[in-house]
Amino acid sequence: MKYDKGFIDELKNVPVFSLTMREKREIYVRLMNELVSHHYSKCAEYKRVLDILEYDFSVKHDLANIPFIPARLFKLHRLSSIVDSDIVKTIVSSGTSGQSRSTIVLDRKNSLNQIRVLARIISSITGKKRIPMLVIDSPAVLKDRDMFSARGAGILGFSMLATKVEYALNTDMELDINKVKKFSEKYQNEPILVFGFTYMIWEYFHKALSESTKSINLENAIMIHGGGWKKLIDQSVDNSTFKSEIKKISGIRSIYNYYGMVEQSGSIFIECDRGYLHTSIYSDVIMRRNDFTICDNNETGIIQVISLLPTSYPGHSILTEDSGVIIGEDDCSCGKNGKYFLVTGRIKSAEVRGCSDTFKR
């Protein structure tokens, strides 16, 4: 099967956390080698990287030897494997003023695949039936639908899973407690999906409710959140504290963190009931030491993320700027197959620059 014939259809009947290490390796060796060839022929910048690395196409490489590019490269170059006329959506990563931001271009097929895969992953938690969703953000974030921020793209993706979408914040980023209370009361006897970015939930939802005399009851809700952990860690708020405090002020018991990035939208890594992040049938991770050799399990390294989704840009194998540790594979007590891991923080700036410099020769 060639990549342009639709690998999503090949996996559509495979449960998203079912493949064993051996089964996954067989699929990924084939599809990832096809993706490398695809982007090499379509993206001049990616071709240059592989030519510098003297990549050997005569060999069918295993997953560990599939070339990766540093996440920082997306901040320096607009990497595209499609012609401009096929671009239907552009996503820009989050970042503070003055920082370079990643720009990801999507054609219709890649955008649709992201939504379909995200839906499959999230429905493993929420069920296949669409449910009402409360977004801890302002609708203003979706203002420019041709060029989304990472926040906007995340909200739009999750909104596709909902029967009704309500925004908890107004345009001034203030929590509308009365609106949230009305929403929770309307759907008090059915499941609700609460979605937002971790820091924003803490800053604009948790703090506002903690300071308010009003209370809300979202005990039937499922909260899914991700991103912005650095700011919370700086406030001494870890994952356990986050969950306990959110439960205290809202009643939400089912809270799941996820790890993902704009460079690989859709194929997120979702937290299980045991507190570990899991790869799905659409994604994988490798931890690498500073010399790029592969870490052992339970050894902290730089996170390399792998996804089958990126076809309109060469984002299928990326060395991130995060550190993490793989705990195991196919043996998590939650019952999911695949690797399970933890994100431990950000790597030092010097290490990030060193990874990028490798590809600038």
Dist. CA 117–CA 133, nearest whole Å? 19
pLDDT 10s digits, 154-196: 888 888 889 999 999 999 999 999 999 999 999 988 999 999 9
**Per-residue pLDDT for 359 more than 50?**
no
pLDDT 10s digits, 250-284: 999 999 999 999 899 889 999 999 999 999 999 99
pLDDT 10s digits, 19-53: 999 999 999 999 999 999 999 999 999 999 999 99
Average pLDDT, the chain: 89
Domain coordinates in residue numbering, the chain: 3-357
Higher pLDDT, 145 or 142: 142
Dist. CA 304–CA 307, nearest whole Å? 10
The highest-confidence range among 97-101, 115-119, 287-291, by mean pLDDT, is 287-291
**Per-residue pLDDT for 234 more than 60?**
yes
The CATH number assigned to the domain with range 3-357 reads 3.40.50.12780
- Contact indicator for 131, 193 with CB cutoff of 8 Å: yes
Q: How many C-alpha atoms does 81 have within 13 Å on its Cβ side?
A: 20
Closest by CA to 313, choosing from 348, 351, 350, 264, is: 264
Q: Can you give the pLDDT at residue 143?
A: 76
Q: Can you give the pLDDT at residue 93?
A: 81
